[in-house]
Amino acid sequence: MKIILLGAPGAGKGTVAKRLTAIDGSVQISTGDILRGAVQAGTELGKEAQGYMERGDLVPDALIMGIMESRLQEEDCKKGFLLDGFPRTIPQAKALKELLEKLKIHLDMVVELDVPRDVIFDRLCTRRTCENPDCQAIYNIKGMPPKKEGICDKCGSRIVQRADETEEAIGHRLDTYNEKTAPLVGFYQNEGMLKTVTGTSSDAVVEAIKSELGM
Ligand code: ADP
């Protein structure tokens, strides 16, 4: 499958993407994971992105398009991909459209995960992430805690609260989403590609996407 997952931070894009990749071997491409990996590795990209990310601001479009142009041409994308956290602005969506045309890649659909803001806010405040850049597994201290407190079930590294998951930064990320990313719903509606899934259970979302794709 070749799809875009659209939705506010905390809507469940990452969780849904991981479940879907297990079905058909498509890869999850999360620009947030790529950027956090770059920050931890201290690369040039990471140094440029870090300040924006910690404030909960978007990283400039040009930087993101550079990452995606090479990522989409990697071998593992041939089986399919789920874009998680990209595109995030109208200019990114337009640039992606051109890029896909150039690479002759056909998108199946854009899935919007529609989750109420209070549910999202609560989820983000209690979210914890594995600090190992190659793992970045996600937990929730209320709903999905690790077996051993503070330790990742998958790789044994520490799990931490992200620098952009303070209440202040979360509020700012949600405002940024409403201002910059929510307009993509209209953009993809016009393209005839949008499917909206309402609900808070990732099981239900996964089932809805599978049936939409005839899987
Ligand atoms: P979430 O969806 O939970 O906000 P992500 O992991 O997708 O978190 O992104 C974390 C941060 O990385 C964002 O707040 C932003 O600074 C940056 N980022 C990720 N993807 C993009 C993108 N497509 N365009 C601009 N900035 C991005």
Q: Which of 28, 29, 31 to mutate to test the pocket of ligand 1 (most atoms within 8 A of CB)?
A: 31
Task: For residues 22 and 215, give the distance between their C-alpha atoms in angstroms, rounded to a whole number.
Answer: 13
Q: Whose CA is nearest to atom 1 of ligand 1?
A: 9
Q: Which pLDDT tens digits describe the chain residue by residue (215 residues)? A: 999 999 999 898 988 999 999 988 999 999 999 999 999 999 999 999 999 998 889 999 999 999 999 999 999 999 999 999 999 999 999 999 999 999 999 999 999 999 988 889 888 999 999 999 999 999 999 989 999 999 999 999 999 998 888 888 899 899 999 999 999 999 999 999 999 998 778 888 899 888 888 88
- Closest ligand 1 atom, residue 30 Cα: 7
**pTM for the whole structure:** 0.89
Task: For residues 26 and 127, give the distance between their C-alpha atoms in angstroms, rounded to a whole number.
Answer: 25
Strand ranges in 35-170 using DSSP code E only, listed in sequence order: 81-84, 109-114, 127-130, 138-140, 159-160
Per DSSP, 127 falls in state E
- Closest ligand 1 atom, residue 164 Cα: 14
Helices 44-55, 167-176: crossing angle, 10 deg rounding: 100
Look up tokens 């070749």; give the residue.
2
